[in-house]
A and B are shown apart, each in its own frame.
Chain A
């Protein structure tokens, strides 16, 4: 398959993925907008005004980057895991497996679909946040690169989950029992400087902390961790997950008998 044909296949997958999450916008785009608005109202306006400042910023300003990142993480992951697992479940994945589309194009297509949803939801949540606070961006390149890398990472993780999943229960286990705790304890709502040394050390093991803080650095210019380290770490995990996902497709694990 030549490069232009591969490009057609790639854009077909992305178009299909975007069309899918736009078609079911009541399930994909509306819930995060409502949930995050509630977070802004409760944690930002109602409780936040009593908490006072955090690292020199109002509590509302502090939580907004974390909440945007939280919605990007959750939606990138959910899009790929639910879309690819549904394709497996309905066997429509065979449409693409019998075609000459190379495996790396299939993977890139699904990942870009996840990134598209993560970015769309991130943008919606960002717009919602403007009703509650003035958002000033410290470094746009950092904001864009962190959010892109994070979205790619969780889209890949969603892909791996979808390949291994045997039932719809299996695709909700990781988001419920792994992703949500990591996100809530990943410095979205607090600075780890408030924690005791022990718990600060434990928090440093949480990968989500690095992404949330790098993103917050891009918006507010403050971070609990070394941003360069965060970038390198996320990039390495992306490479590992991409290679592993490609290996799963090449070997046909749980996809070919």
Chain B
């Protein structure tokens, strides 16, 4: 039996309030991530993603529950658990006045890597992440994207088996984001388990095999990305037309909305044929020249799930109040 890369059991965290009972950020979440997985942890702002990561890497003290990394419990074998883990936080958390190379080498030192090996690893990862030319610069001189890559190099220098990235591509331009995706896929292919939080759901859909959605401190969905996408019952497509659209076209079985004189929005249920839609539009002399999803498919599901969960929570809250 293989040991899970990460096991979280009934994890709770309540932040002490200045007055009153405090804020319950995690309400007993349980989660399992398999070795080698590329796992997405999604949720709206304030859902509890960063708190969960904080507990895993011991920067946040849990109220109750258990966490283990590759079978090593963070309470009973904290050192062993930490050795398996690399973390790329959301905020820049390095000394802005230190040199790029020193930041990475020092981090290796904190994991007990001898200086020579630390230097070799720093060179390897700084080169892979395109920062080698900047190695002698103070970290504050780097651009935002470079700072993010520096944090990835720093997290990888001790070659952890589990890498957690908390919104690693926030504020990074699309070209750089795609090169970071390629790098992360390469790291994952070499055997490193990756957990990713992101607000770019396209990123999660492209990279991740499994996903957990967290809202208000509770896991509302935990499945594979494929299975989740299968549950999508309806998609919205944007169609660009060759001819101007005079009025809202009527195609039996499809809901259409005119966006502008060359653009239509169409709701398509799961199981409905796009061929029928195109045939219907052609019959009224509307020819489609291109089409795209209105929103990313995972994004639609995400929004639906969060809306449902929040509606349920509001109903529950009303019931308790009454």
Give residues in A with beta carbon < 8 Å to B.
Answer: 1-2, 4-6, 8-9, 11-13, 15-16, 19, 23, 86-87, 90-92, 94-102, 252, 256-257
Contacts and interface: CB of A to CB of B under 8 A. Distances in A.
B185 interface: no
Contact of B109 (A9, A92, A102, A256): A9
Interface of B: 15, 54, 57-61, 78-80, 82-83, 85, 87, 89, 91-98, 102-103, 106-107, 109-115, 154
Given A11-B109, A99-B111, A100-B112, 9 more contacts: A8-B109, A9-B109, A9-B111, A92-B98, A98-B58, A101-B111, A101-B112, A252-B61, A257-B61
Contacts of A102: 79
Nearest to B103: A95
A256 B63 CA distance: 13
Contacts of B57: 98
Given A1-B83, A9-B112, A95-B106, A87 B61 contact: no
Contacts of A91: 91-93
Nearest to B86: A98
Contacts of B112: 1-2, 4-6, 8-9, 100-101
Contacts of A8: 109, 112-115
Contacts of A90: 93-96
Given A94-B89, A257-B15, A257-B60, A100 B83 contact: yes
A90 B98 CA distance: 12
A6 B115 CA distance: 13
Contact of A256 (B61, B79, B110, B115): B61
A230 B274 CA distance: 90
Contacts of B80: 100
A12 B61 CA distance: 26
B82 A99 contact: yes
21 contacts: A1-B83, A2-B112, A4-B112, A8-B115, A11-B109, A12-B106, A13-B109, A15-B109, A16-B102, A90-B93, A91-B92, A95-B107, A96-B110, A97-B58, A98-B57, A98-B58, A101-B111, A102-B79, A256-B61, A257-B54, A257-B61
A21 B89 CA distance: 28
B60 A95 contact: no
**6 shortest interchain CB distances as A-B pairs:** A5-B112, A12-B109, A99-B110, A91-B93, A100-B79, A100-B82
B43 to A, nearest CB: 18
